[in-house]
Structure 1
Amino acid sequence: MHVLRRGRDGDALSYADLFAEAGRVAAGLLSRGVRPGERVALVLPTSVDFARAFFGVLAAGAVAVPLPGPAPFGSSDAYLRRTAAALRRSRVRTVLTAPATLPLLGPGLVHTDADAVDVLLVAEVAEPGAAHVARTASDPAVVQYTSGTSSEPRGVVLSHGNVAAGVEAIAHGTRLTTADVGCAWLPLFHDMGLVGSFLTPLLHDVDIHLLTPEDYLRDPRQWIQAMGRLGATFTMAPDSGYRYVLRRDTAPQDGLDLSRWRIAVNGAEPVDRRLQDAFVERYAPAGLPADVFLPAYGLAEATLAVAFPPVGRPTKVLRADRDALGRGRYVPASTGPCRELVSVGTPVRRTEVRLTTAGGAPAAPGTVGAVEVRGASVTSSGYDRRPEESRRVLLPGGWVATGDLGLWHDGELYVVGRTKEVIIVFGANHWASDIEAVVRDTPGLPVHGVLAEQIWSDEGGRLGLVVETARQDEAGRQASTARIRARVVAELGITPDRIEFVRRGRIARTSSGKAVRHTPRSGRRPELETP
């Protein structure tokens, strides 16, 4: 594995050396009293130390709990409170971290209400000997915290068997071989980064090159340039990750060669076919194949992957009548505004998907139902020390409720939205992601982010919008308001009750960049990050 710095070669670690060094970290953990099954937190940047620590924890028979580090310009007090809450929830006594984070975590956690924890550097834990504690497939391996778009993040307990099945399903679905080269930037505490970008290539002997999320955010062109320079074939990111590249890389560099790039997994957010087409068009002169995108569906509770379409197939799209879809049925749109739904294919290896009605009966083909999954990669334990929430998602027969809604068409799955992301306006259902896409695509509107939220009043449901924009002048905002209202009325037949403009970065987001949704209240203002 290689860690890139500013898009160029940085630290590297062979897989043989990783096995040996993980054993030394495991020996150090065991000598400090860490017991098999005990949770050990990793607060580490994208680095070879993360790999040493992650596999060192597993080699000690303990359970890895990857957690985010502090945001560069965020509140340290708020970060410490969130971290302490996760440590308390998972009963963590040991935290492995990096030198840059130690001055904050070490003293900081002492002043929270967290139980006593040891905050240690990875290099200091490693000992000359080596240990590799045997574990079974049913033993817990990872507590993967969810991204929490519509609820407080929860720690999904994944067993060794879940992880092994999950990475095998991804490798099979993407036809991964040792000839592939991976290059990605997603944070390793996020399921798409940990399982998809890190564990899957590593456990299949595939060379991986990891950019730090900070370098990607600073200049996403580094990712694309590294893909070309390394001859990389495999990557994954959410829809917004590819969109950010298009916004920043308006003129791809001369000599860029992307002809070896064969898989761009697109998941974690609603897939936008138009975004994929624009990305391919932008980089076609550099040799990017037209069929590079692989729209995917997954979730942390299933060790990431749930459904993939066939590799190399053009993206399948349904044009659905919006009104009928709001009533729970797919009707092909003949004329006028429609909603495009992208196929995410069929269930991955050793995974089943079913759609059910509110009463628990199977949903008929072409009707919207609740997505439920089960299989070798799907958690059977639920959320770490959250019995009430676990009971709500763990269903009889090994099924797990995802909170998503979808429909079957011609034997393939189309994800429609989340149960908590439906906006009700005058009694009619509208999908939040659909509204946000309409606003984002308003011609002539410089938008960075959009959040659609439910507003309740005495007259019923209303639509509120938060729009990130660089326009600060009042005249510009009035013009933007008029454009947004006209666009939403023309496309959706509804009028936003309130539009609030904020500076870029004010909408609260998860670790993967998805907007955080909150429970709607009467006339509430959408929750924003403090500046």
Structure 2
Amino acid sequence: MRSIGANRAPPPRPAPPARPRRPAPRQGYAAPAPGCAPRARKRRPAVRAAWGHRARVRQKAPNAAAGQSRSPPRPPRSRPPRSLRRCPPRRFHRRKAAPLPAALPARAASSRRRASRHIGGRRDNANAPSGRRPPRTPPWRHFRPSIRIRALFGRDSAAAWRGSSRIARHRQAPVRRASLRRAVFSIGRREQDAWACAMFVPQSGPIENDQQRHIGHQSPDMGDLFKQHRVRARFMAQKDDMLVAARPESRDVAPLMTENHAASADTLVPTPTQCAQPRRFSDFATVGEALDYAASGTRGLNFHDPRGRLIRAYPYSELRADALAAAYRLIAAGVKPQDRIALIAETGPEFAALFFGAIYAGAWPVPLPLPTSFGGRDSYVGQLVVQLTSCDPRMLFFPPEIAAMAVEAAEQRGVEPLDWTAFAERAAPVADLPAQKTDETCYLQYSSGSTRFPHGVAVTHGALLNNLSAHSHGMKLQDSDRCVSWLPWYHDMGLVGCLLSPVANQVSVDYLKTEDFARRPLAWLDLISRNQGTTLSYSPTFGYDICARRISSQSHVADRFDLSRWRVAGNGADMIRPDVMQAFVDAFADAGFKASAFLPSYGLAEATLAVSIMPPGEGIVVELVEETELSGAANDSGRPTRYRAIVNCGKAVKDMVIEVRDEAGNPLPDQTVGKVWCTGPSLMTGYYRDPEATAACLKDGWLDTGDMGYISNGYIYIVGRAKDMIIINGKNHWPQDIEWAVEQLPGFKSGDIAAFAITTPGGEETPAVLVQCRTSDDAERAALRETIRERVRAITGMNCLVELIPPRTLPRTSSGKLSRSKARAQYLAGEIQPFAIAA
């Protein structure tokens, strides 16, 4: 008996699978030159740079089984879809390649030509088909500049360049690798004779022979500037004035970079977060005394450029010295106590020195706004003229960039205009400084003028320091806290909260100019991510909104930001919108941001700064209130119940008392909407040279804030401004509700809509809605107007007037908030012209 399969011939050995043929080159790429075989490369799965934001992982397909036909090759295409393209700037494409040095070996030159032809460089005209243009040079990532790098900086540099292809494989590696290569080669080409090449290699420790041989040391510590550090399988090159870092691990290397660069004469080191100086929480008699104490430590102010790079470290000791010199110059110029010194509030050391210098000299500094994009030159000059008329200053200091506008405004009012750069060059003879008292006026702060004409708020030394102490107590200030701010210094939150408070509480600050934040808002979050301690940073709602809008679903925020140490994310100076704050949390949760870091607060310039503040760690708390409770009208049984989300703004700060009163001035019980009043030692003494306005809002030591709200369990809830309320048929309508409903339509954002009440020719009150429209088609405008009408009718229950106006038409305050009262006045005066739409 034989077993099954015995004495059977062995099966034939299967033939090896056929090796796939090399696909034809795609259009736009040159084939290898005749007689020049392409260099063989090891085949392996690779993370290749895609044209879009993501990396495309390509795995070799298994060989087709014997006897099976393979799928036809993919048809070639000249370029990928536009949605996947990611090309470098055109100016970089079209720039002619720098010529190679004369001493370039012939072998290197020939290698360069072969590599260019093989990878896709521009072919010689002799090899191009007749009658056709040679193919266009492909994007930067398909060109091999390692030969040029080797010619300029040696063999090790070329090897390092090729090593950059082995950067750790993660989703953003291709995009980051391409940007690193562009930065390295651009610097290397511009500065061939200097220390200019930062290399990216997968190793730890210094790379010395290449720099020593080809770059040439300009200082004994030049080699330290090129030390490479491996950070959890990601790479970072240290190069002064060039930020090339992997996030979030790169934050651990920042102190090391500071140490490596400390030996360089032009390297800046930020002021420290912590120092051995005992902290005092604003328990001083005057602001000058507070600066004197802060100058005895090592903390200070730090100013950054639009990309977040440090351009000026300004310790409090240096600020005090410059402020005293400014005070001596002011006294020498004839400035007397109680004189007003107007200052254009540009975020920088010049303004800070002049502000404290005026205080030392006994004068009253008056911060005035910078030009904004909300109006033209004439509008800004007119605003300056009005404020100069109000405060009647002796001098107007300004940065040289806006000299023409500042001089024009000053000449109209007979004020001496001074460029603060030229003023700093004057002699500063030592003089006796006038004594200061706690109850004397420290400075004038102009309110933003959201609902009325701006008034100069007179704030004393005692009121300021009391509010700063209460604010630091409410935030539970810690030794590890560091402030990061982009807020303007002509606004009370920026001036008091982010300049005077850090001085009085000895906190280091990192500043980004407001105009730089508007162009690159994510640089604000970069500064927060870089801070090794805990961060305090405030912003109105629109600041969080701008950042959240810049992040798409394909953005990998965890690779760039680290917001896990953001302890206090303050919110104030405007109505707090829960939907915007939720969008910010959703966008940056992967970067470590915690919703509990939000710190809602309520304040106004007439109370110096803070009136109430939420306890840290509680985040944003919202109450849903029925519309009938807010409007005061009876509930319509035929309509569904509507609710509005009201944000909890916290409890009154230390030494401050809050009440909600009715129209007659009687206190109201909890959960009853009325006018918000407050009292405390940090209230203003009054509006400068405006006794009528002072008497209208200050009564028996209580301040009428002009806001509507209610108290619940000791917490204050702000509903809106009393003067903005739309009252129709005895029913209250809040413009924020109408504006928010319209903003939910596609194509609109916060600030595009202004709602207010007008009187019709028949004597009836009706809501009017101005909408900034970006649609040019008449039919689409008519359809949009009807859609908005239906939205408003669903809220108010009545027809409204909808006017579509050109973009950037609605007026804003100096702090960027919508001014409804001014919009109403301009509309009624015919200054705002709506689009003509057929009925």
TM-score, reference length from structure 1? 0.92
Q: Say yes or no: does 1:463 pair with 2:767.
A: yes
Partner of 1:352: 657
**Residue 390 of structure 1 is aligned with which of 682, 686, 694?**
694
Q: Say yes or no: does 1:234 pair with 2:536.
A: yes
Aligned residues: 521
Partner of 1:508: 811
Moved more, 278-287 or 73-82: 73-82
Give secondary structure in 2 for the equivalent of 1:467: strand
Q: Say yes or no: does 1:432 pair with 2:735.
A: yes
Question: Per-residue deviation at 1:178?
Answer: 3.3
Partner of 1:184: 485
Partner of 2:548: 246
Contact 2:622 2:648 in 1 (8 A): yes
Give secondary structure in 1 for the equivalent of 2:686: coil
Which is bigger in relative contact order (C-alpha 8 A, separation at least 6)?
A: 1
Partner of 2:271: none
Q: Say yes or no: does 1:19 pair with 2:312.
A: no
Partner of 2:303: 3
Partner of 2:344: 43
Q: Output the amino acid matched with 1:305.
A: A
**Residue 419 of structure 1 is aligned with which of 722, 737, 743?**
722
Question: Per-residue deviation at 1:195?
Answer: 0.8
Question: Per-residue deviation at 1:521?
Answer: 6.9
Residue by residue, what CA displacement relative to the aligned partner does 1:447-501 show, whole Å, maximum 9, x if unpaired?
A: 3522112121125111111223433322333343333233333344344322324
Question: Per-residue deviation at 1:445?
Answer: 3.9
Partner of 1:369: 674
Give secondary structure in 1 for the equivalent of 2:371: coil
Partner of 1:209: 510
Mapping of 1:150-299 within 5 angstroms?
Answer: 150-231=451-532, 233-250=535-552, 251=555, 253=557, 254-299=559-604
Question: Per-residue deviation at 1:198?
Answer: 1.8
Partner of 2:606: 301
Partner of 2:779: 475
Root-mean-square deviation (CA, aligned residues, Å) is: 2.5
Moved more, 381-390 or 194-203: 194-203
Question: Per-residue deviation at 1:102?
Answer: 2.6
Give secondary structure in 1 for the equivalent of 2:449: coil
Residue by residue, what CA displacement relative to the aligned partner does 1:231-263 show, whole Å, maximum 9, x if unpaired?
A: 461111111221122223333542311111011
User: 1:527/1:339 Cα in 2 relative to 1: closer, same or farther (>3 Å)?
Assistant: farther
Q: 2: CA distance between counterparts of 1:339 and 1:180?
A: 35
Residue by residue, what CA displacement relative to the aligned partner does 1:377-434 show, whole Å, maximum 9, x if unpaired?
A: 111x2111011111111101x1111111111112211111111010123442101122
Write 1 or 2 for the structure with the bigger share of strand.
Answer: 1
Partner of 2:628: 323
Q: Say yes or no: does 1:403 pair with 2:706.
A: yes
Q: 1: CA distance between counterparts of 2:617 and 2:432?
A: 43
Contact 1:508 1:527 in 2 (8 A): no
Q: Output the amino acid matched with 2:435.
A: A
Q: Which runs of 5+ in 1 are unaligned?
A: none
Q: 2: CA distance between counterparts of 1:165 and 1:393?
A: 21
Q: Output the amino acid matched with 1:209.
A: D
Contact 2:707 2:721 in 1 (8 A): yes
Moved more, 280-289 or 428-437: 428-437
Mapping of 1:446-457 within 5 angstroms?
Answer: 446-448=748-750, 449-457=752-760
**Residue 106 of structure 1 is aligned with which of 401, 404, 407?**
407
Contact 1:44 1:96 in 2 (8 A): no
Moved more, 362-371 or 123-132: 123-132
Partner of 2:414: 115
User: 1:340/1:526 Cα in 2 relative to 1: closer, same or farther (>3 Å)?
Assistant: farther
Q: Output the amino acid matched with 2:535.
A: T
Question: Per-residue deviation at 1:29?
Answer: 0.6
Moved more, 34-43 or 115-124: 115-124
User: 1:306/1:27 Cα in 2 relative to 1: closer, same or farther (>3 Å)?
Assistant: same
Q: 2: CA distance between counterparts of 1:357 and 1:73?
A: 36
Mapping of 1:32-111 within 5 angstroms?
Answer: 32-71=333-372, 74-110=375-411
Contact 1:427 1:461 in 2 (8 A): no
Question: Per-residue deviation at 1:120?
Answer: 4.2
User: 1:476/1:102 Cα in 2 relative to 1: closer, same or farther (>3 Å)?
Assistant: same
Contact 1:369 1:405 in 2 (8 A): yes
Give secondary structure in 1 for the equivalent of 2:505: coil
Moved more, 347-356 or 446-455: 446-455
After the TM superposition, which parts of structure 1 deviate over 6 Å for at least 4 consecutive aligned residues?
none
**Identity score, percent:** 34
Residue by residue, what CA displacement relative to the aligned partner does 1:328-375 show, whole Å, maximum 9, x if unpaired?
A: 899xxx974211111111110111111111111111222112111111
Residue by residue, what CA displacement relative to the aligned partner does 1:156-187 show, whole Å, maximum 9, x if unpaired?
A: 11011111112212211112233111111111
Contact 1:454 1:462 in 2 (8 A): yes
Q: 1: CA distance between counterparts of 2:326 and 2:373?
A: 28
User: 1:167/1:523 Cα in 2 relative to 1: closer, same or farther (>3 Å)?
Assistant: closer
TM-score, reference length from structure 2? 0.59
Q: Which runs of 5+ in 2 are unaligned?
A: 1-300, 835-839
User: 1:329/1:252 Cα in 2 relative to 1: closer, same or farther (>3 Å)?
Assistant: farther
Q: 2: CA distance between counterparts of 1:139 and 1:497?
A: 50
Q: Output the amino acid matched with 1:323.
A: T
Q: Which has the larger radius of gyration?
A: 2
Question: Per-residue deviation at 1:225?
Answer: 1.9
Moved more, 81-90 or 192-201: 81-90
Q: 2: CA distance between counterparts of 1:341 and 1:387?
A: 35
Question: Per-residue deviation at 1:304?
Answer: 1.2
Contact 1:156 1:384 in 2 (8 A): yes
Contact 2:793 2:799 in 1 (8 A): yes
User: 1:182/1:502 Cα in 2 relative to 1: closer, same or farther (>3 Å)?
Assistant: same
Residue by residue, what CA displacement relative to the aligned partner does 1:191-222 show, whole Å, maximum 9, x if unpaired?
A: 11101122212321111111111111112111
Q: Say yes or no: does 1:490 pair with 2:791.
A: no
Question: Per-residue deviation at 1:275?
Answer: 1.4
